[in-house]
Amino acid sequence: MKIDQYQIMSKYYDLLVCGRDHIINQEKVISKLINSSHIKLLDAACGTGIENSGLVKAGKEIFANDGSIFMLQELNKKKHDYKRIFNEEWINLDRIYEIESNYDVIYILGNTISHCPTIEYLLEVFIKVRQGLNKNGMFLFDSRNWIPVDGDEPYIQQGRKTNEKRVLLNSEIKIEDDCNYQNGKQIITYFVNTNNTHESFSLEYQIIPQFKFEELIILAGFNYVEIFDMKNEGTGYPYIIYRAK
Ligand SMILES: C[S@@+](CC[C@H](N)C(=O)[O-])C[C@H]1O[C@@H](n2cnc3c(N)ncnc32)[C@H](O)[C@@H]1O
């Protein structure tokens, strides 16, 4: 991951994501998967803390981590209930385990795991996550449900055309984005305009189909993986949640 992918995004992340229906619905599903036997949790890509805010937290100890110091700076401006916050790349999660030992649940949410730059890196991350789980612990992550197409780009985001700007926010701060596919990655470029500033930045997502995630999870040593398609939850959220044990 290029950690500074989130440097500019950190300033606008909450504005773009907070309160969106799909996040709220996803939190409901995650809250059902995390049960009373799960006490110690690690939000391994906490960002500004949004995805965590709607989880059921009674009786839980929640630790946080993120690779971007800029996202953590935004998180630290807010009131939050994480027990402790770390700033490590996933590949170095073992540094956290050395300090705070293992977890009942580790989660990487918000269409985030696809930021892994290569399949090899992703496999390493899955192995690192597994190392940090207690017996009977579980790993939760989500990913876009990429759809197969013919031609050079074998998988894409459904309904998302290339080089077509969408308006995400149209207020004092206007934010638009467009999408391109290159070398098995989706590149979303954001354009932010206010009266005084004009800036743009891109986020990259590796396009990993469901079967590949399942294959890698097993290769990493997990026993099985279950799929929760958010479409079946009646939410319209175009993402899949994976639970690996
Ligand atoms: C889309 S945000 C999601 C944040 C939060 N989970 C949410 O749903 O709002 C993705 C986060 O993953 C972090 N991230 C991406 N790649 C990472 C890596 N290799 N190691 C640690 N954090 C990473 C980014 O810094 C960013 O804060």
Q: State pLDDT tens for residues 112-162.
A: 999 999 999 999 999 999 999 999 999 999 999 898 887 666 888 888 889
pLDDT in the model for residue 24: 76
Q: CB–CB of 87/66 below 8 Å?
A: yes
Q: Above 60 in pLDDT, residue 232?
A: yes
- What is the mean pLDDT of the segment spanning 34-44? 94
* Comparison of pLDDT for 234 and 160, the residue scoring more: 160
From the CA of 111, give the closest atom in ligand 1: 1
Q: What SS3 state is found at 120?
A: helix
* Lowest mean pLDDT across 150-164, 165-179, 186-200, 227-241: 227-241
From the number of C-beta atoms within 10 Å of its C-beta (0-12, 13-18, 19+), residue 107 rates as: buried
Q: Above 60 in pLDDT, residue 2?
A: no
The answer to whether the CB of 49 is under 6 A from ligand 1 is: no
User: What is the residue whose two structure tokens read 């099985």?
Assistant: 224
What's the first-to-final CA gap in the chain, in angstroms?
25
pLDDT in the model for residue 18: 74
Rounded distance between C-alpha atoms, residue 193 and residue 23, angstroms: 25
The answer to whether the CB of 190 is under 6 A from ligand 1 is: no
Domains of the chain as residue ranges with CATH: 5-147+207-244 (3.40.50.150), 155-200 (no CATH)
- Which is it for strands 239-244 and 133-144: parallel, antiparallel or unpaired? antiparallel
- What is the mean pLDDT of the segment spanning 34-51? 92
- Which is it for strands 85-86 and 103-108: parallel, antiparallel or unpaired? unpaired
- Ligand 1, atom 13: nearest CA belongs to which residue? 45
DSSP state of 159: T
- What is the mean pLDDT of the segment spanning 188-201? 95
- Which is it for strands 103-108 and 40-43: parallel, antiparallel or unpaired? parallel
Q: Which residues contact 145 (CB under 8 A, 6 or more apart)?
A: 158, 210, 229, 231, 238, 239, 240
The answer to whether the CB of 66 is under 6 A from ligand 1 is: yes
pLDDT in the model for residue 113: 96
DSSP string, 66-89: -S-HHHHHHHHTS----S-EE---
- What is the mean pLDDT of the segment spanning 160-175? 92
- Ligand 1, atom 25: nearest CA belongs to which residue? 68
Q: Could you tell me the CA-to-CA distances from 162 to 116, 145, 178, 187, 205 in Å, in that order? A: 22, 17, 7, 10, 14
The answer to whether the CB of 93 is under 6 A from ligand 1 is: no
pLDDT in the model for residue 65: 97
Ligand 1 center–CA 67 separation, angstroms: 7
pLDDT in the model for residue 236: 53
- What is the mean pLDDT of the segment spanning 73-101? 96
pLDDT in the model for residue 69: 96
Q: What is the mean pLDDT of the chain?
A: 91
From the CA of 112, give the closest atom in ligand 1: 10
Ligand 1 center–CA 131 separation, angstroms: 20
- What is the mean pLDDT of the segment spanning 51-57? 73
The answer to whether the CB of 1 is under 6 A from ligand 1 is: yes
Ligand 1 center–CA 15 separation, angstroms: 16
The answer to whether the CB of 186 is under 6 A from ligand 1 is: no
pLDDT in the model for residue 8: 94
User: What is the residue whose two structure tokens read 């770390």?
Assistant: 86
pLDDT in the model for residue 58: 80
Q: Above 80 in pLDDT, residue 3?
A: no
Ligand 1 center–CA 151 separation, angstroms: 31
The answer to whether the CB of 90 is under 6 A from ligand 1 is: yes
Ligand 1 center–CA 150 separation, angstroms: 31
Query: Reading across the β-sheet that carries 198-206, which strands appear in turn?
Result: 166-170, 174-182, 185-193, 198-206
